[in-house]
Amino acid sequence: MPRVLTANIDANQPPPDRSAYERRGGYAALRDTLRTLSPADVQARVKDSGLRGRGGAGFPTGQKWSFVPMGPAAPRPKYLVVNADEMEPGTFKDRLLMEGDPHQLVEGTILSAYAIEADVAYIFLRWAYRLAAERLERAIAEAYDAHYLGPHILGSGYSLELHLHVSAGRYMCGEETGLLNALEGKRGNPRAKPPFPALSGLWGKPTVVNNVETLCNVPHILSKGVDWFKQASLTGEGGTKLYGASGRVKRPGLWELPLGTPMREILDDHAGGMRDGVQFRGVLPGGASTDFLVGDHLDVAMDFASMQKAGSRLGTGTMIVLDDRTCPVGMVRNLEEFFAQESCGWCTPCWSGLHWAADMLRDLEEGRGEAADLDRLAAQARLLAPGHTYCALAPGAAEPLQSALKYFRDDFERHVREHRCPWQ
């Protein structure tokens, strides 16, 4: 199995320093690119590669970059912001990349910043990732020493400042506009779009926000080529993906696999199947804010299109597995309480609707549920739709709720009927 993003990562070793990273071919993409490619060329290659954002929404990266005003007339400074505020429950893939190979992210950041002619880049890091902060800080300093950062990088006409910002942190700051507000020192509330950050982003200037894993792909696309990237996946969407699994599987973990690897393969071959004595009941395929899938879906390829067709989303590609010894209502309650707690308090459907949904789920769990609550919960899930709310938090929260009501309806009804949680 070809490992690309994790090729340099050995969990038992410290991450490669600059010279080790360079020995393994690191920063070659940067050297070649600055010498031979224009920003437009870089944009074109990433666009052609079909790279889609690995942070959850899956927006095509090259297309996102293409919205940024280019050339001498563009407003300055322009910003590239690395979204390293990894807080999706069950998701820990960016952490591995940052702790295991920080220079790869630094190189990807410089190349992507070059593609949009950014003047300044920030890595917006989740506060709890202390080891990542330490390692990134060292990598950035080493990159400055080697003139990979700062004025006239490697003697080229391109200059970039890169700052690590360790955030105060909330789930909401992982949403790109919430992140920008937080980076500006404001409340981490989202912003309405339009205007999109590419036009009015950080401090009102053109800004691109990309996920860690997304940016880590960029050096490899540039060094190995668009065709290589496309062939690296099983289903044509391009590249590899860090897949994770948590829950009662035998070997919870994280694996770099070709994009489009079927769910069953990941769960059985890599996670070792379910623990003894428990049965698989369902899975949140891409983090807490994706719809449940069940046994019928196990052979679906884990890529953007297939997951959507199956009624869920690839999201972050890190699965949370539900087993038959765990109460699905309790699991959804746990999730909705998390989302309700993380609501920034800006738009009504989110701050009130999620609170109410969590409240009803608590009632069900504690034996106070009413039959009508199921319809009310379904109504909440339906009303918290994209566009109805200010950002994607509440619609994301609605996904596990609506799918749980669909696939585990009996369990909900038992809670009402028996006035208790049957698993307790």
Partner 1 sequence: MARIFIDGRPCDVRDGINLLDACLSLGYDLPYFCWHPAMGSVGACRQCAVKQFRDEHDTRGRLVMACMTAAADTTRLSIDDPEAREFRTSVGEWLMVHHPHDCPVCDEGGECHLQDMTVMDNHTYRRYRGTKRTFRNQDLGPFVNQEMNRCIQCYRCVRFYRDYAGGRDFDVQFLRDRVFFGRHRDGVLESPFSGNLVEVCPTGVFTDKTLKRHFTRKWDERTAPSVCVHCAVGCNTVPGERYLRLRRIRARFNHDVNGYFLCDRGRYGYEFVNDVRRLRAPRVGRGPDQRDATAADAVERAAPSLAAGRAIGIGSPRASIEANFALRSLVGAGRFFSGASEADHQLAALILQILRTGPVPTASLHDVEQADAVFVLGEDVANTAPMLALALRQSVRRQPMAIADRLHIPEWDDAAVREAVQDAKGPLFIATPIATHLDDAATAAVRGAPDDLARLGFAVARAIEASAPVSGSAGPGEARDHAGTIAGTLREAARPLIVSGTGCGSRAMIEAAANVAWALHRAGRPARLALIAPECNSLGVALADAGGLDAAFDAIDRGTADTIVVLENDLYRRAAPAAVRRVLDRAAHVIAIDHLATATTAAADVVLPAGTFAESDGTLVSYEGRAQRFFQVFPPDGEVRESWRWIRDLLAAAGRTDAAAWQTLDDITAALASALPAFAAVAGVAPPATFRIAGLKVAREPHRYSGRTAKYAGVTVHEPKPPDDPDSALSFTMEGYTGQPPSALIPRFWSPGWNSVQSVNTYQTEVGGPLRGGDPGVRLVEPPAGSSPAYFKDVPPPFERRAGQWLCVPLHHIFGSEELSALAPGVASLAPQPYVALNPDDLASAGVEAGSEATVTIGDDTFRLAVRAAPSVPAGIAGIAAGLPSHPWLPLPALGRIRRGEGAR
CB closer to partner 1, 157 vs 185? 185
Provide, rounded to whole angstroms, the least separation between the CB of residue 189 and partner 1: 9
CB 263 within 8 Å of CB 283: yes
CB closer to partner 1, 111 vs 350? 350
Provide, rounded to whole angstroms, the least separation between the CB of residue 204 and partner 1: 4
CB closer to partner 1, 89 vs 150? 89
Provide, rounded to whole angstroms, the least separation between the CB of residue 62 and partner 1: 23
CB closer to partner 1, 11 vs 379? 379
Provide, rounded to whole angstroms, the least separation between the CB of residue 112 and partner 1: 23
Structure-block tokens of residue 121: 């880049």
- Residue 360 CA to residue 347 CA, distance in Å, equals 20
- Residue 317 CA to residue 234 CA, distance in Å, equals 15
Structure-block tokens of residue 281: 């009941």
CB closer to partner 1, 48 vs 359? 359
Structure-block tokens of residue 172: 């909401």
List interacting residues with partner 1 (CB under 8 A). Answer: 170, 187, 191-192, 194-195, 199-200, 203-204, 340-349, 351-356, 359, 363, 368, 372, 376, 379, 383, 385, 387-390
- Residue 207 CA to residue 209 CA, distance in Å, equals 7
CB 246 within 8 Å of CB 323: no
Provide, rounded to whole angstroms, the least separation between the CB of residue 260 and partner 1: 31
216, containing H or E segment:
helix 212-224
CB closer to partner 1, 213 vs 336? 336
CB 378 within 8 Å of CB 413: no
Provide, rounded to whole angstroms, the least separation between the CB of residue 402 and partner 1: 16
Q: To 10 degrees, what angle do helices 93-100 and 212-224 make?
A: 60
Phi/psi of residue 293, each to 5°? -120, 160
